[in-house]
Structure 1
């Protein structure tokens, strides 16, 4: 028996996940997660980057229209991503294993790769990231790349602070960034005390 795939190759699907920092939209394309966007993401992602809303038991995010049914592999991937994010928020996950894919300029990709190397519970300044990339004077360019990071939390732009340690420049605002940093500080402290 032949099956026909009714989905185009560039089709994206997203689920909305409630979280302690507000709703998150988790986006998958083919075999990778390509976006994690906050409900209050600034700048907001282009609707084409989100794709079609996947509903749970017939529900969809309020502004998303009718629910879509993704291919089984994409549905499984979205399930894995939401499980891992939920585990992150409950303090039982420090590293994400879900497959991801980033698209951007070569410079953006280098910045996002540097962000992904910041250990859980630690912070780096924009200047630290610039120095790591070989030019300590490009802090503003680093900030611009961090702001458009499509994989919030998984690629941890929230771990980047000003040189004075101030919480600045996060797509979901300083309150969400502070909440993520505080979560990691608490969990890291518990691990230290237990270890």
Structure 2
């Protein structure tokens, strides 16, 4: 019985391999295009943020009046309105939104860097603690560089988006290559 399940999985993987290849190629191409134009990628990230915030706002409003009863309903409605306003602001003021989001990202990296450095010294008796220290210093430096760079709002969010899309594409291509090495199922023979 176990062989039948494995054959089915192998058959499905081989059957869908072309889709993994196609998605991987498209994502790699988009990632490269975004890397070549980081300001467009940043604008894309801000617009995506705006869309997601507006959708989140609408869902909170729906939840407030369709799911929740009593006084809590108004908290959900307030969250929905705040989300929607943030999304609208992202559309009407994309440069200011990029500045705010980039600053928040830099602050989060600074805080994470400090926490990792403190954690590294707590782990000092354990072998490999230096890597945690290195990671903390690198994260701290990244946050400081982003915060100190006056033009970072125009490229940082785009860089993060482009690199993420590029690596997702590479992931799909690697997965498709790994599928090719799996022996076909008896159904494929």
Q: TM-score, normalised by structure 2?
A: 0.24
Structure holding more strand per residue: 1
* Larger-Rg structure: 2
Q: Which has the higher contact order (CA 8 A, sep 6+)?
A: 2
Structure holding more helix per residue: 2
Q: TM-score, normalised by structure 1?
A: 0.24
